[in-house]
């Protein structure tokens, strides 16, 4: 059986390196690549790969929010998160969104292959560093509520709008991207500022970067 894989990372060297690793496996087939989260979701719905490997900090739609949408539209697809960071809050956020695996960038080649084979069998795979960080996998669900995550104050749509705002999109362009009215986007922006108790755009940008919602500008 051939395992089809889709890659998503906005760093070409990372994506090329992953592709080299995966292409060495005779039963793996990389069927596509994306450089932003929104394009990734659209491509996954179209191609229906078995596995997606996605960076956490993707432009337009970050990897965690993309995972949430992928799992909604393509529930049979398994997602492996890839990141430079592995804080408990970030890892648990990814798992809660539906990721089946979490790897730290720079992990050994064989671990990437092992992760793909594991998630295809519907097993969760965490790199050893991540597993040590958050404890035993059976305890993950019980720990969800113990780690405060300020992004939980926002709805899925509000997180989408927030990322696009801090990446410099105008209300009109956000409205076009999300198929909403500019008035609705203005309402979302006001609601986000209120929920996060942040006074201005620089504060929003700082918040988004600190919480891995968007790549550093």
pLDDT tens across 172-189, in order?
999 999 999 999 999 999
Q: 53: part of which helix (H) or strand (E)?
A: strand 51-55
Contact 98, 79 (CB under 8 A): yes
Per-residue model confidence (pLDDT) at position 212: 78
| Close Cβ partners of 41 (under 8 Å, ≥ 6 residues apart) | 61, 66, 69, 70, 73
Query: How would you label 163-193 residue by residue, b for 16+ Cβ within 10 Å and e otherwise?
Result: bbbbbebebeebbebbebeeebbeebbeebb
135 pLDDT band, cuts 50/70/90, is low
Hey, how many other C-beta atoms are within 10 angstroms of the C-beta on 194? 10
Is residue 51 pLDDT above 80, yes or no? yes
**Range in 5-9, 66-70, 138-142, 145-149 the model is least confident about:** 138-142
pLDDT, mean of residues 45-59: 95
What integer best gives the mean pLDDT of the chain?
89
- Which 3 state secondary structure label does DSSP give 164? helix
Is residue 141 pLDDT above 70, yes or no? no
Give the rounded distance of the alpha carbon of 92 from its chain centre: 12
Contact 174, 161 (CB under 8 A): yes
Give the angle 43-214-99 at the CA atoms, nearest 5°. 55
């Amino acid at each position: 059986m051939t395992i089809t894989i889709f890659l998503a990372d906005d760093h070409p060297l990372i994506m090329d390196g992953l592709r080299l690793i995966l292409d060495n496996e005779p039963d793996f087939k990389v069927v596509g690549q994306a450089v932003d989260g929104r394009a990734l979701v659209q491509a996954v719905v179209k191609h229906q790969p078995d596995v997606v490997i996605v960076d956490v900090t993707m432009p337009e739609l970050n990897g965690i929010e993309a995972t949430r949408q992928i799992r909604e539209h393509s529930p049979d697809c398994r997602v492996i998160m890839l990141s430079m960071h592995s804080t408990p809050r970030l890892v648990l956020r990814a798992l809660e969104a539906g990721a089946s695996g979490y790897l730290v960038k720079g992990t050994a080649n064989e671990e990437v292959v092992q992760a793909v084979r594991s998630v295809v069998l519907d097993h969760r795979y965490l790199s050893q560093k991540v597993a040590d960080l958050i404890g035993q996998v059976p305890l993950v669900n019980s720990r969800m509520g113990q780690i405060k995550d300020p992004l939980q104050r926002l709805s899925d749509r509000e997180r989408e709008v927030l990322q696009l705002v801090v990446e410099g999109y105008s209300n009109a362009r956000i409205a076009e991207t999300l198929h909403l009215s500019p008035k609705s986007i203005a309402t979302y922006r006001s609601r986000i500022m209120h929920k996060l108790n942040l006074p201005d755009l620089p504060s929003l940008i700082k918040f988004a970067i600190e919480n891995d919602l968007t790549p550093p500008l």
